């Protein structure tokens, strides 16, 4: 199912909010308008592609403080900074905090639209990775403790015989546990298993990979 993209605009300037609202609605966006960061924090983010247009100066409040809050909460939402005259140094702070672009007012709506589309592509990519991580973690949780041990040691670089010696098990047992781990993880190859271990960050740091 195709969804209309969402855009969230946090700006205390009513004229700018109305202008952006009309423009993005004409481009088939679902628009959410906020004049105050506290209003935005009460808003439930949509599950569909979304981008945040954030003004730096929000009355007596600083929009970058809201950006910090978003980062601390682990919200995966791309941010584009909107800056007035004299706030360029603050825009740099926003970029360093993860904003993908910044625009100095006044700006071209069409130029902004291009950046918004890039932000939406980023959202899709990030959420695809998040979903992959969830699937991998769920599969890993289905492994027995012994299968997890074997997977960690194998993907850290130990050969089957070395794993057998370390765990005081037979070589055939290690091969069996390794095969079960690969099947449960849905790994088509050992390279896939190594990739999943990297995603899970479960490799043994004391083992130098692929050294005997």
Average pLDDT over residues 23-38: 94
Average pLDDT over residues 122-131: 82
Residue 5, pLDDT score: 92
Is pLDDT of 210 > 70? no
- Given CATH 2.40.340.10, say whether it is the number of domain 142-200: no
Alpha carbon distance 72, 168 (integer Å): 44
In three-state secondary structure terms, 208 is coil
Average pLDDT over residues 50-63: 88
Dihedral class, residue 149 (left if φ above 0, else alpha if ψ from -120 to 50, else beta): alpha
Question: How does residue 33 score in pLDDT terms, banded at 50, 70 and 90?
Answer: very high
Residue 58, pLDDT score: 85
Alpha carbon distance 200, 132 (integer Å): 11
Domains of the chain, by residue range, sit at 6-129, 142-200
Say which residues have a Cβ less than 8 Å from residue 29's Cβ, sequence separation at least 6: 4, 5, 6, 7
Say which residues have a Cβ less than 8 Å from residue 120's Cβ, sequence separation at least 6: 5, 49, 50, 51, 78
The 10s digit of each residue's pLDDT in 135-176 is 999 999 999 999 999 999 999 989 999 999 999 999 999 999
Residue 29 and residue 23 in contact, taking contact as beta carbons nearer than 8 Å: no
Residue 2, pLDDT score: 60
Say which residues have a Cβ less than 8 Å from residue 5's Cβ, sequence separation at least 6: 28, 29, 30, 48, 49, 50, 51, 120
Residue 86, pLDDT score: 56
Residue 65 and residue 20 in contact, taking contact as beta carbons nearer than 8 Å: no
Average pLDDT over residues 93-115: 86
DSSP of 35-78, one letter per residue? SSHHHHHTSPPPSS-EEEEEESEETTEEHHHHHHHHHHTT----
Superfamily grouping for domain 6-129: Response regulator (3.40.50.2300)
Q: Per mean pLDDT, which range of 36-50, 89-103, 114-128 is the poorest? A: 89-103
Who wins on pLDDT, 180 or 59? Answer: 180
Is pLDDT of 192 > 70? yes
Residue 104, pLDDT score: 85
Alpha carbon distance 34, 48 (integer Å): 19
- The alpha carbon dihedral of 46, 51, 56, 57 has a sign of negative
Residue 212, pLDDT score: 41
Residue 211, pLDDT score: 46
């Amino acid at each position: 199912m195709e969804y209309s993209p969402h855009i969230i605009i946090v700006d205390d300037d009513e004229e700018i909010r109305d202008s952006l609202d009309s423009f993005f609605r004409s481009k088939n966006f679902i628009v959410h308008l906020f004049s105050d960061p506290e209003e935005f924090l009460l808003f439930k983010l949509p599950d569909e592609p979304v981008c945040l247009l954030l003004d730096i100066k929000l009355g007596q409040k600083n929009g970058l403080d809201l950006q910090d809050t978003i980062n601390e909460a682990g919200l995966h939402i791309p941010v584009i900074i909107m800056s007035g005259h004299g706030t360029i140094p603050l825009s740099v702070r926003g970029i360093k905090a993860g904003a993908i672009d910044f625009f100095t007012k006044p700006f071209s709506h069409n130029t902004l639209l291009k950046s918004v589309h890039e932000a939406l592509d980023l959202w899709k990519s990030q959420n695809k990775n998040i979903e992959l991580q969830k699937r991998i973690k769920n599969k890993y949780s289905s492994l027995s403790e012994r299968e997890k041990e074997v997977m960690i040691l194998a993907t850290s670089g130990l050969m089957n015989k070395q794993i057998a010696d370390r765990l005081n098990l037979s070589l055939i047992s290690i091969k069996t546990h390794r095969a079960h781990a690969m099947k449960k993880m849905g790994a088509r190859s050992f390279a896939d298993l190594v990739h999943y271990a990297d995603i899970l960050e479960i490799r043994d740091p004391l083992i130098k990979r692929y050294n005997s």
